[in-house]
Amino acid sequence: MESWPSPAVPRLADLGLGTGRLPRVHDTASDTLVELAGDPLRMYVCGITPYDATHLGHAATYLLFDLLQRTCRDAGHAVHYVQNVTDVDDPLLERAVLTGEDWEALAQRETQLFREDMTALRVIAPDHYVGAVEAIEEIVDIVEKLRDAGAAYDVDGDIYFSVNAAEHFGEVARLPVADMIRLSGERGGDPDRPGKKDPLDCLLWQAARPGEPYWESLLGAGRPGWHVECAAIALRHLGPAIDVQGGGTDLVFPHHELSAAEASVVTEHWPFARTFVHQAMVGYDGGKMSKSRGNLVLVSRLRADGVDPMAIRLALLAHSYRADWEWQDAEAAAASERLQSWRAAFAREAAAPAQPVVDALRETLADGLRAPDALVVVDAWAHAEGTDPTAPAMVAAAVDALLGIA
């Protein structure tokens, strides 16, 4: 489907500012900092299920991968970026039933709002932006392959993936079985369904149900399961071995565990992703910001209230991606103030030299995408005096290229 317009990203090398380094990022599967690799670096990030978009938790996730991409580009690496839209799935259909809206109209409206929010936040667009609905053929193909491999079976007309067929199942999240079963139940799975071989087996293809959308296929009339959607889209557009699989920490299990397991059975290749990168959860008002809880702060709401999207971006970048945090309403004003002070600094006739600032920015990003520390680097430069007339424009370009702040 249509993605959104990407912002221009200045090339700092062309400005005589040299090149950066590929970042080290936290890899969930090994629980260590690993240096990224790949040119092009192939990145798949799980997209929205289009309702109640775009809350600050979503935005934080897509900004993390935007920062990652900007850092890789500055290091001279191309990034091949794919993102999905889960435009047919239980929670979306349930919301449509609840509000009496047509599910497709709901998905289209919310996806469009997401595009507008991503554009306003200056998030680099994916090269392929793919809806589940438009990937049905690929998904059916993968499910057939899983069936041929003996990794799928039927329960009352529904087709399930057998986790026992995946040699490396469990290696992404590394959780005890009891935790996996609990999380599966909380996050869209059906561990208690009778007839399954293992409680952790997941739906690949759900037979058509009255009143629900379905597609005719060799698997029978039905619709795709969630995890296989991302496995199929990633395999189709990025191949069997990707460099980064990304999303929020709420997707580590079961979603990324099972997508990776399914893909690895089809391709006979492991690991599915060299690095699994996850954004910690953003909360509000005492809990994880989530559509089911309803404690949402929407990017579009803040924008409508007059908050500069660049201030929203700065507010989110002020938090580490590694630790859960809770949004405070006062953060919008604090970020707006910071944005003003930066813009005033960029408008000066002269300032402290740019290269040390650029070097320090690159260092904080290469060393684990430490965005909050990167902001402090710019603060310090903005507060310092200097006589270099080229510095304001140079630092502004670096802040644009590396942090996405215009």
Binding-residue pattern over the window 71 to 110 for ligand 5CA, x denoting contact by CB under 6 A: -------------x-x------------------------
Q: Which of 240, 261, 200 is nearest to 44 (CA)?
A: 240
Q: Between 136 and 397, name the residue whose CB sits nearer to ligand 5CA.
A: 136
User: For residues 184 and 279, which CB has a smaller minimum distance to ligand 5CA in the complex?
Assistant: 279
- Whole-angstrom distance, CA of residue 270 vs CA of residue 29: 12
265 neighbors 295 (Cβ within 8 angstroms): no
Q: How far is the CB of 357 from ligand 5CA (least distance, A)?
A: 29
Q: Please provide residue 37's backbone torsions phi and psi, each rounded to the nearest 5 degrees.
A: -145, 170
Residue 225 neighbours by CB under 8 Å, 6+ apart: 161, 202, 203, 204, 205, 206
Token match 């580009």: residue? 73
Nearer to Zn ion, 122 or 227 (CB): 227
Number of chain positions touching Zn ion (CB under 5 A): 2
Only one of the segments 274-282, 304-312, 325-333, 353-361 lies at the binding site for ligand 5CA (rule: CB under 6 A); that segment is: 274-282
Instruction: Give backbone dihedrals phi and psi of 152, rounded to 5 degrees, phi first.
Output: -135, 150
Please tell me whether residue 158 binds ligand 5CA under the rule CB under 6 A: no
Length of the chain: 406
Of 249, 288, 283, 254, residue with least CA distance to 27 = 249
Tell me the β-bridge partners of 44. 82, 245
Q: List the single partner that 131 binds among Zn ion, ligand 5CA, none, CB under 5 to 8 Å by kind.
A: none
- Cα 316 from Cα 374, distance rounded (Å): 13
Q: Where are the beta strands (DSSP E) in 28-167?
A: 32-35, 41-45, 79-85, 128-131, 152-155, 158-161
In the bound state with Zn ion, the residue whose beta carbon lies nearer, of 246 and 404, is 246
Site string for Zn ion, 32-61 (x = CB under 5 A): --------------x---------------
Which residue lies nearer to ligand 5CA by CB, 191 or 247? 247
Contact 346, 340 (CB under 8 A): no
- Taking the C-alpha atoms of residue 110 and residue 115, their distance in angstroms, rounded to an integer, is 9
- For position 377 contacting ligand 5CA by CB under 6 A, the verdict is no
CA neighbor of 374 nearest in space, from 353, 357, 389, 391: 357
Q: Using the rule CB under 6 A, which residue among 12, 29, 46, 166 binds ligand 5CA?
A: 46
Residue 84 in tokens: 């999905």
Q: How far is Cα 402 from Cα 137, in angstroms, rounded to an integer?
A: 38
| 58 binding ligand 5CA? (CB under 6 A) | yes
In this structure, which amino acid lies at residue 405? Answer: I
- Identify which of residues 85 and 345 has a Cβ nearer to ligand 5CA in the complex: 85
Contact stretch for ligand 5CA (CB under 6 A) within 47-55, 133-141, 158-166, 373-381: 47-55
316 binds ligand 5CA per the rule CB under 6 A: no
Examine residue 219 and tell whether it contacts Zn ion (CB under 5 A).
Answer: no
Which among 54-62, 97-105, 196-204, 205-213 is the span making contact with ligand 5CA, rule CB under 6 A?
54-62
Q: Which of residues 225-264 bind Zn ion (CB under 5 A)?
A: 230
Looking at beta carbons only, is 230 or 375 nearer to ligand 5CA?
230
Using CB under 6 A, pick the residue from 69, 275, 279, 336 that binds ligand 5CA: 279
d(CA 271, CA 261): 9
Q: Which residues bind ligand 5CA (CB under 6 A)?
A: 46-49, 57-58, 60-61, 84, 86, 230, 247-248, 250-251, 279, 281-282, 288-290
Q: Which residues bind Zn ion (CB under 5 A)?
A: 46, 230
